[in-house]
């Protein structure tokens, strides 16, 4: 190894001497953090065709004929922010530092294995996104931001209160586990509103793992995991502000500041969102968009220790008032049957901490969290009071199994206390209250084995004991084979499970006039999954870089819990499926980086999701057979401008309709297009303008059935089919075009 470094050192000296003798200018491109050379970075000079590519030492040379000209050149590399500048002193080598961006190939990820590992080395495919990626389409919440991630789809499930969930590969929201720093903060009662209150100012990156992850994360991680990694106060900008508004009256403020006191670094962030305009573009006398007034305050403290052990503590408070309903509704009508409105007051508090225990021989991490979610809401005249507390503790440590093993042992304990005003927490006779208290201890082990330089095998096993459902075992296997650095195959197989709570996950069961029926004692759902992933990279001389990421996935469910809207038009019946369900498909992501600065990220997912009951195959509701996303970015470095075009495409999806329902059983093909132009200034300020939903698509159907009779007071008048008020028919936001103007400012 010493000989290798010595040879590289001599090669560098020789190269510098040679280029200086020839009157050429040497440019070295380095990682701004690690100072390591960046290979295959592209350099393009304004108004001069062609370009240059860095070699294995991160270098390229400019010929003598160019040195006496005033030149501005731009350097780009996959995973880094571009750099634009002028030629330096020809007598000296020039060093250009590139800062890592949202798609860094060597990004360190933790969601796949609960251990910090390079994204490329991980046996399990992980997608990584930073706020910079989502800024291409400015949004007030993570829920909306995820609409430009392939295979991840925000789905609204109520036309009045605009509750929603996140689908991964077509699976309903309860199958997606949302974690903050790996802890189950957003779960249970908070799944419907939780993602709306996470401020962008607290987010360092978002990691997405598609497919079951119950071996590491337990219940809910059946369809996948979305892990929100919060910023480190030690490296966050001193000041960061992002404020924007739209022409329909949406206002969003996102800000954060950092400070240092001795060995303590403090990050304080705040997000405020307000929308207070009553819009009704389809003329049904109901608000198209829920009115919201939300504030979220977040603080994180990182402690510096002489032994470099990790120690941090964070807290967040969210308060929101939202309502939707008939246009003439006022707070005095809350809970009455005179004018229909759905009014939700939410208060939420979270605490999470991370501490590395002292140990000379191994790394021992302790993670703890606690959250309280309190909800006071009326759906028409139906009262729903919900209160949930979740306490979580987890300890993990490395296992010394040998040179080629990277093993992890962990133990976790989750306690969930839940109480509400529905039959879900009443005594068997219905006369008293019986809050739910569930203990979920678990132990898990995984071992990543380096079989050879090309082969890695990961084996995992988890055992949980649920006090309501007993013992649950979930194994997982992953295998990674690298033909070379440009071609990587990954195969993952495993099982998952989920314990469902109807009223905390499906608020459509509380809206409208249908009676909720729970047919039996619901059993945990089980799943078996397989996923094959292939990643390859190309470096064509005229294109700069092309990346391809393709996956095949298959999941088989038993005991699946599905809502039955069809058996009785006046009921929603929940029961374990007497049969099975299948989710399968193919996903493709393409990443193009051209020498002229044009960058295209496009993805498509084709899915077949259905259930088989009594020998009959039925398609899943709200799951399009095909969905696509794209982001197109083109910079004009000379003017400090960047043009972004983002969007998503959805094929027809099955919707909840009744016999003789006048509304179509399937949605049409539809796409949402967004454009945005950003002007950057040297002071660190950015001004951006854009148009969301450029072509103004929105559902033209009467999406709310019998909107004129929300309390069913005239159900027997001119109603031969016995229809009731039903707002669960939804497939796209009820919003036309809206212009956006915003300002960002960062001080490093």
What is the CATH classification number for the domain harbouring 152? 2.170.130.10
> 102 pLDDT band (50/70/90 cuts)?
very low
- Whether residue 22 contacts residue 31, with contact meaning beta carbons closer than 8 Å, is answered with no
Q: CATH number of the domain at 630, please.
A: 2.40.170.20
Q: Would 425 be classed as within a structural domain?
A: yes
Give the CA radius of gyration of the chain: 27
| Averaged pLDDT, 630-649 | 90
In this structure, are 476 and 571 located in the same domain? yes
For the chain, percent of residues with pLDDT exceeding 70? 81
CATH number (domain holding residue 75): 2.60.40.1120
Reported pTM: 0.80
21 DSSP 8-state letter? H
Among 666, 546, 654, 673, smallest CA distance to 609 is for 654
Task: Evaluate whether residue 192 is within a structural domain.
Answer: yes
- Per-residue confidence (pLDDT) for residue 593, from 0 to 100: 79
Q: Is residue 103 situated within a structural domain?
A: no
Contact 689, 138 (CB under 8 A): no
Q: Do 144 and 286 share a structural domain?
A: no
432 C-beta neighbours (distance < 10 Å), count: 9
Residue 437: inside a domain: yes
What is the rounded CA–CA span in Å between residue 414 and residue 214? 14
Answer yes or no: do 436 and 315 share one domain: yes
Give the lowest-confidence range in 184-193, 289-298, 526-535: 184-193
Average pLDDT rounded to a whole number, residues 307-313: 84
Q: Would residue 480 count as lying in a domain?
A: yes
Question: Phi-psi bin for 380: left (phi > 0), alpha (psi -120 to 50), beta?
Answer: left
Helix (H, G, I), strand (E, B) or coil at 9: helix
- Residue 85 and residue 74: Cα distance in Å, rounded? 7
The neighbour count for residue 636, using CB atoms within 10 Å, is: 12
The pLDDT value recorded for residue 206 is 87
CB of 325 within 8 A of CB of 289? Answer: no
Decide if 653 is inside a domain.
yes
In a domain, 273, yes or no: yes
Asked whether residue 507 carries a pLDDT value surpassing 60, the answer given is: no
Residues 726 and 696 in one domain: yes
Tell me if 489 sits within 8 A of 481, measured CB to CB: yes
Which domain, by its residues, includes 727? 230-747
Residue 188: per-residue pLDDT: 59
- Is the domain of 280 the same as that of 305? yes
User: Does the pLDDT at position 506 exceed 80?
Assistant: no
Q: For residues 560 and 7, which has the higher predicted lDDT (pLDDT)?
A: 560
- H helix or E strand, kind and range, residue 51: none
Strands ordered across the beta sheet of 25-31? 59-62, 25-31, 94-98
Distance CA 346, CA 274 (A): 15
- Choosing from 98, 131, 162, the residue where a domain stops is 98
Q: Of 49, 72, 98, which one is at a domain's C-terminal end?
A: 98
Q: Are 342 and 479 in the same domain?
A: yes
Predicted local distance difference test score (pLDDT) of residue 9? 34
Which residues, in sequence order, are CB contacts of 4 under 8 Å at separation 6+? none
6-20, 385-399, 568-582, 714-728, range with the lowest pLDDT: 6-20
219 and 307, same domain (yes or no): no
Higher pLDDT, 424 or 328: 328
Of the pLDDT bands very low, low, confident and very high (cuts 50, 70, 90), residue 340 is: very high
Residue 528 has pLDDT above 70, yes or no: yes
Q: What is the pLDDT of residues 203-245, one digit of tens each?
A: 888 888 887 676 666 666 777 888 888 888 887 888 889 999 9
Which of the listed residues 178, 210, 229 is the one where a domain comes to its end? Answer: 229
CB atoms within 10 A of CB 259: 11
Indicate if 208 and 64 belong to the same structural domain: no
Give the number of domains in the chain: 3
Cβ-contact 143, 173 below 8 angstroms: no
Q: Is 394 inside any structural domain?
A: yes
Tens of pLDDT along 566-588? 666 666 677 777 778 888 999 99
At 610, is the secondary structure helix, strand, or coil?
A: strand
529: pLDDT strictly greater than 60? yes
Average pLDDT in the chain = 81
Q: Is there a single domain that holds both residue 510 and residue 550?
A: yes
10 Å Cβ neighbour count for 85?
A: 13
Tokens linked to 359? 């140990």
Residue 4 confidence class, pLDDT cut points 50, 70, 90: very low
Sign of CA dihedral 707, 708, 711, 713: negative
Would you state the pLDDT for residue 83?
81
- If asked whether residues 72 and 151 sit together in one domain, one would say no
Instruction: Examine the domain organization and report whether 88 and 160 are in the same domain.
Output: no
Whether 261 and 341 share a structural domain: yes
Per-residue pLDDT, 6: 35
């Amino acid at each position: 190894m010493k000989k290798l470094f010595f040879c590289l050192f001599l090669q560098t000296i020789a190269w510098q001497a040679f280029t200086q003798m020839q009157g050429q200018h040497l440019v070295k491109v380095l990682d701004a953090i690690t100072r390591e050379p960046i290979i295959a970075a592209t350099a393009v000079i304004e108004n001069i065709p062609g370009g240059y590519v860095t070699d294995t030492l991160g270098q390229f040379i400019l010929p003598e004929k160019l040195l006496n000209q005033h030149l501005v050149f731009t350097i780009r590399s996959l995973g880094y922010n571009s750099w634009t500048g002028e030629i330096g002193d020809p007598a000296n080598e020039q060093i250009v530092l590139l800062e890592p961006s949202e798609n860094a190939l060597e990004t360190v990820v933790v969601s796949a294995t609960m251990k910090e590992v390079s994204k490329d080395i991980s046996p399990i495919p992980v997608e990584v996104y930073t706020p910079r990626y989502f800024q291409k389409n400015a949004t007030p919440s993570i829920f909306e931001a995820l609409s430009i991630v392939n295979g991840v789809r925000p789905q609204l499930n109520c036309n009045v209160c605009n509750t929603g969930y996140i689908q991964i590969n077509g699976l309903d929201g309860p199958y997606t586990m949302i974690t903050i720093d790996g802890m189950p903060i957003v779960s249970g009662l908070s799944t419907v509103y939780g993602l709306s209150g996470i401020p962008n100012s607290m987010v360092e990156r978002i990691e997405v793992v598609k497919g079951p992850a119950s071996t590491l994360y337990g219940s809910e991680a059946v369809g996948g995991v979305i892990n929100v990694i919060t910023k480190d106060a030690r490296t966050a900008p001193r000041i960061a502000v992002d404020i924007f508004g739209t022409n329909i009256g949406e206002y969003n403020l996102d800000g954060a500041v950092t400070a240092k006191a001795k060995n303590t670094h403090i990050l304080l962030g705040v997000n405020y969102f307000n929308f207070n305009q009553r819009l009704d573009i389809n003329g049904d006398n109901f608000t198209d968009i829920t009115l919201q007034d939300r504030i979220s305050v977040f603080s994180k403290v990182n402690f510096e220790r002489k032994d470099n052990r990790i120690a941090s503590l964070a807290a967040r408070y969210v308060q929101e008032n939202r309502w939707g309903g008939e246009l003439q509704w006022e707070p005095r009508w809350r809970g009455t049957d005179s004018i229909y409105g759905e009014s939700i007051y939410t208060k939420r508090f979270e605490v999470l901490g991370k501490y590395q225990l002292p140990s000379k021989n191994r790394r021992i991490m302790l993670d703890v969290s606690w959250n309280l979610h309190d909800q006071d809401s009326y759906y028409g005249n139906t009262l729903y009071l919900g209160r949930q507390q979740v306490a979580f503790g987890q300890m993990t440590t490395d296992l010394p199994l040998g040179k080629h093993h990277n093993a992890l042992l962990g133990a976790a304990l989750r306690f969930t206390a839940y109480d509400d005003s529905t039959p879900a927490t009443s005594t068997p006779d219905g006369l008293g209250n019986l809050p739910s208290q569930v203990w979920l201890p678990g132990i898990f082990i995984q071992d990543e084995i380096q079989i050879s330089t090309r082969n890695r095998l990961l084996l995992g096993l988890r055992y949980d004991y649920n006090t309501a459902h007993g013992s649950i075992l979930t194994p997982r296997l992953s295998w990674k084979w690298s033909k070379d650095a440009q071609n990587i195959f990954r195969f993952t197989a495993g099982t998952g499970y989920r314990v469902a709570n109807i009223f905390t996950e499906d608020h459509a069961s509380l809206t409208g006039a249908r009676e909720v029926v729970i047919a039996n004692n619901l059993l945990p759902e089980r799943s078996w999954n397989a996923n094959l992933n292939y990643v390859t990279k190309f470096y064509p001389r005229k294109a700069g870089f092309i990346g391809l990421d393709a996956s095949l996935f298959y999941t088989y469910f038993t005991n699946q819990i599905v809502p039955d809207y069809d058996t009785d038009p006046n009921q929603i019946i929940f029961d374990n499926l007497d049969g099975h369900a299948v989710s399968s498909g193919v996903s493709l992501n393409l990443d193009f980086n051209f020498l002229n600065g044009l960058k295209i990220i496009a993805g498509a997912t084709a899915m077949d999701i259905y259930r088989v009951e009594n020998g009959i195959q039925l398609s899943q509701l709200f799951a399009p057979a095909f969905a696509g996303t794209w982001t197109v970015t083109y910079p004009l470095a000379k003017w400090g401008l960047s043009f972004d075009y983002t969007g998503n495409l959805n094929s027809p999806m099955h919707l909840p309709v009744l016999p003789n329902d006048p509304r179509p059983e399937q949605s049409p093909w539809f796409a949402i297009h967004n454009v945005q132009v950003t002007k950057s200034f040297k002071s660190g300020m950015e001004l951006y303008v854009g148009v969301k939903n450029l072509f103004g698509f929105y559902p033209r159907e009467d999406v709310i059935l019998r909107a004129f009779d929300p309390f069913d007071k005239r159900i027997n008048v001119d109603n031969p089919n016995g229809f009731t008020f039903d707002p669960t028919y939804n497939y796209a936001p009820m919003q036309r075009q809206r212009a956006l103007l915003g300002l960002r400012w960062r001080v490093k």
